[in-house]
Chains A and B, each alone.
Chain A
Amino acid sequence: MKKLLKSREISSFLFLVALFLIVGIINPNFLTSSNIVACFNDSVVYIIVSVGMAFAIFIGEIDVSVGANLGFTATVVSCMLRDGQNWLLAFAVGIIIGALMGLFNGWGVAIMGVPSLIFTLGTNGVMRGMMYVYTGGAWVENLPAEFKKLYTNTLVGSISVNLTLTVLAVIAIHLLLKKTKRGRYFIAVGDNPAGAAMVGIPATQTKVAAYVICGVLAAISGIVFSSRIGFVTATSGSGYEMKAVAACVLGGISLSGGVGSVIGASIGAVIMASISRLLVFMELGSTYDNTITGILLITIVVADSLMQRNTAEKNRRQRLAARTLSGDKAKIGGGDHE
């Protein structure tokens, strides 16, 4: 229980609750159940991208191409659906595209050893250009109504089917990561790549796998995105990469890798997705969106890094104290070493 309370996810969850309460105090109209459920319903796209991003960050890398990946998949899938193709085929094509992009990123970062930010920045640019090539810059509209209905289907009350599925999937992924051997590889590789390789963990494969998962999840979020918005433009999905990173950091995932959980990432994603709605209720308007996001991101990472440094310093002192203590004992014992 104590361990649970101390965990990073709890602090981000408390932050989310506090955020809702503060807005509720300023504007009591906010704290209705339908509003809060809507906040969660609307964060499905963000949750999926952020969980994918979490995998890239777990292994100590980053993937800033998820935004373009999301947009490109949304474009291709929407075009296929508009032209009356089989849905399953369209979804499969989308997911394969995502997986291939992830594989390419994984190849560049894990096998070629290119710094991940730079490599994925490149793939981001290429894919964004490919979106223009694919559509000629035109909007993809007139998606089938049943497809758009996928997003608005509700299960119990106003909780959407998508949200339920996403939450179940996140819990499943969390359990896989924490309870299975292969799942633990991701955290191990991020925590100490050299050490992980030494104890026989296939570090390179794990890194590539993390990128493939990240790409697939970005592709799935692209499909959900197009079903939510109902049309896809040439700039769809831009900025999602930044919000996903912010969500992961807010959810307590350390950017140096090896720390955090996908549940944290999901909570962070809900916070990121709710900001614009919260701002509306605070009567500030969406012009403050970027400013608040930036301030939040910087504050959290600075606080996180200062706290980490504090713990490191404390540990160092403890080690030092332990060493001098044992040193004294050695002296009392006659100093055999001399």
Chain B
Amino acid sequence: MNKSFLQKLKEFLKSWEMVLICILLAEFVVFGAANSKFLRPALLFNSMNDFMSICIISLFVTFVMITGGIDIQAGSIVGLTSIIIGVTWQDFGLNIWVAALLAVIVAALCGALSGFFVAYCGVQAMVVTLGGSFLYAGIALLVSNMASTASYQGISGFPDYFKILSKYKFFGVIPSQLIIFLILTVLAYILLHRTKYGRRIFLVGVNQKAAEYSGINSRLVIMSTYVLSAMSASVAGVVLTAYLGTAKSDLGSNFTLNIITAVVLGGTLSTGGKGNVVGTALASVVIGLLRFGLPLCFGVGTQYLDIPVGVLLLVVVVARSMGSHPTTANLIRKWKERGREA
């Protein structure tokens, strides 16, 4: 509470977020040096459009992982949202905004269903969301069959006032998706780190029984995190549909690895109880820039991008568990002691 500004600064410099910022800067330096096109603001901001949906989802999957769960259904909810917007708008003649709202509500229900099974029936989160990813992708396919156009073509021809949601550029350069992401980051930050609800999420993640005994409805808290992550996935689905101008049922099907990598890289413990939104936001941008920079500057094909992301995930998790491994922990301690003696 009464730490001086300097102490706070010192703490911040030692924190994981600082490391992420350094990685981010390193990315700018390396990619910028390899190809100066990377540093053009217009191109850089434009590239963000391609990965903003991953960033948005990662923010709220963090909530789920802090409670000790995991959410691998978010990707299929993106596709479900997209196709619901398309079909209800094109074939049922709904207003596009009503269609989008409907899609978000459906997604929230999907999240609530999975969350209910996890929280109230005590099934492992991984299996439920695995089943959910099948189920919601399947439903998306069924919905797409209701459309009058072939499903592989997707549904396009959305009105301009809907597309502008993701295509508008503030001051001519800053894309509206980035603004949406920033707003959601602030929202998630306040929700997780500044409200009672956020404290409850952490407490449930650290020790569910203790949380239950201190009067927290821990099951409701767990379920609500799945609703939030599903809603964020559907917001990402709306944004992505507006950006691409096409509604397809298989959008987002390859997001899972990126989302989990972003959350883990952001410093969230996969066993729960620890994590933060700023870290996730930074990590998701690190991954996004990696996916943008590697093809542009080093000519890596976009199909290969799962390799660097996967390697990144593996390196982070192995390094982190090495830190807590007895042998390495001993080594680090000895090294520190030697430093003190010298």
Chain A interface (Cβ within 8 Å of chain B)? 62, 108, 112-115, 117-119, 121-126, 128-130, 132-133, 137, 234, 242, 245-246, 249, 255-256, 287-295, 297-298, 301-302, 304-306, 309
Complex alpha-carbon distance, A165 and B122, angstroms = 39
Chain A hits for B70, CB < 8 A? 117
Q: Please determine whether B314 and A122 come into contact, CB atoms closer than 8 angstroms.
A: yes
Please name 7 pairs of A and B residues whose Cβ atoms are closer than 8 Å in the assembled complex, sorted by A.
Answer: A122-B311, A123-B314, A125-B257, A129-B303, A287-B141, A289-B138, A301-B127
Chain B residues numbered 303-340 whose CB sits less than 8 Å from any CB in chain A: 303-307, 309-311, 313-314, 317-318, 321-322, 324-325
Set of chain B residues within 8 Å of A133, measured between Cβ atoms: 304, 307
Of all chain A residues, which has the CB nearest B129?
A298
Q: Provide the bound-state CA to CA distance between A256 and B117, in Å.
A: 16
In-complex Cβ contact of B135 among A62, A287, A298 (8 A): A298
Q: A301 to B123, Cβ gap below 8 A?
A: yes
- Complex Cα spacing A301 to B117, Å: 9
Closest to A297 in B: B131
- Tier of interface size on chain B: 35 or more
Contact B142 A287 (CB under 8 A): yes
Are A115's CB and B127's CB within 8 A?
A: no
A288 near B317 (CB under 8 angstroms)?
A: no
Could you tell me if B314 and A291 are in contact, using CB atoms closer than 8 angstroms? no
Report whether A249 and B127 are in contact in the complex, using a CB–CB cutoff of 8 Å.
yes
Which residue numbers of B lie inside 8 Å of A, CB to CB? 70, 117, 121-124, 126-128, 130-139, 141-142, 145, 256-257, 260-261, 264, 270-271, 301, 303-307, 309-311, 313-314, 317-318, 321-322, 324-325
Q: Of A129, A294, A295, A301, which is within 8 A of B305 by CB? A: A129
A255 vs B126: C-alpha distance when bound (angstroms): 10
Please measure, in the bound complex, the distance between the C-alpha atom of A124 and the C-alpha atom of B314, giving whole angstroms. Answer: 11
Asked if A114 and B310 sit within 8 Å, CB to CB, the answer is no
**B142 to chain A: which residues have CB within 8 Å?**
287-288, 291
Contact call B307/A130, Cβ cutoff below 8 A: yes
Docked pose: A137 CA to B305 CA in angstroms:
13
* Given known A-B contacts A128-B306, A287-B142, A305-B123, A293 and B313 have beta carbons under 8 A apart: no
Contact B304–A132 (Cβ < 8 Å): yes
Enumerate chain A residues within 8 angstroms of B307, measured Cβ to Cβ: 125-126, 129-130, 133
